[in-house]
Structure formats: structure tokens, C-alpha cells
Structure 1
Amino acid sequence: MPRLVLLDVREPWEYQTAHLPDSLFMPMGDVPSRAHQELDPDDHIVVLCHHGLRSLNVAMWLRAQGFERAQSLAGGIDAFSRTIDPNLPRY
């Protein structure tokens, strides 16, 4: 059964500063070597980064690799902390 995967592609220090619970941490540079081993192409993958640029690039790459339900979280974790969870640290 497909599931929702929050894929965090930021750097380790960013993830340590603030991250969403149950997100899968996979720095952007690791995605090409880890995606096919750790992600299911049937899952709905929401990729996130700080402001949304890296996540958009990763989501587009994933789609090109057959992960058709990959998408980027618009505005990244920064927008999430401003609009949804103000307790999430901003940096």
C-alpha cells in the first residue's frame, strides 16, 4: 500500500536544527545513490529543504527516475515553520 514519505534533503546541520517528525533524512547529494534502495516508486514522496529550491530539483529528478508521485514542499521547512508550526525553529 502506498504511503506518504517526507523526504528531507537538507544538510546534516540543517536537519539537526529543525526537522519534521518521521521525516526520512537523505541529504541531496546522497539521493542518487540511495533513492532506488530506500524509496518506493509507488509512495507519495514530499521532498523538503529550507526554502524549496533543492527539494524541487530532487523531486524533478525523482520523477525522471520513475517516482511519479514525488513533489516538492513549496516554501520548504521555513514556510512550514512560519505558517503551520511556529514552534519549529527557524534558521
Structure 2
Amino acid sequence: MAQSTNSLLLRQVRGQIGKQFVVKQYGKKTVITAYPDMSNVKPSKAQKANRKQFAKAVAYAQAILHDPVKKKAFAAKLKKGESVYHAAIREFHAKNK
């Protein structure tokens, strides 16, 4: 794992570079790691269920965003700076516990 504390080149870089490296920022340090190999990782039944539930929440939020009437009604309930998308996901999870 390579570390750098004052790299002009990588100071603002974050995320993956191709599928070879991942650049991470920890405070003032920049860390470069190998891209993770997740091919042998099997999700548990609970993880699969959570992912399925979250996919439904995303579909619900996107449906609200694509309907101007629903989006406007939803935005009226929110405080300044709050996202309609994130509020819709929260509402979906609250209704489907």
C-alpha cells in the first residue's frame, strides 16, 4: 500500500483508476490500494434481501422524481437543502419495516 502526504498529482483524486487501483483520502494522506477482487464473495441471504429492498426503494424514489406533480408535493414537505430522492428512500424504508 503506497502512501503520500503531499502529492500535487493525487491531491484531488479519489476513486478507482480502471480496475487496477483505488485512490483513497484519509485526512491529509493519499493511499493507493489494489482494486478489490470480490469474485469469490458470496452475499448472505440477509444481504440479498437488503439489496432487493433497497432496489425497490430506489425505484420508488425515481418514480417520484420522474412525476412532476409528486415531486413538487414531496418537495413542499422538505426543509431547505433536503433532497427529494433521499427523503423518498427514507419514507419507503419507514413504510416497509
Shorter-chain TM-score: what band? under 0.3
Q: Judging by fraction of residues, say which structure has more helix.
A: 2
Higher relative CO (Cα under 8 Å, sequence separation at least 6) belongs to 1
Q: TM-score w.r.t. structure 2 length?
A: 0.19
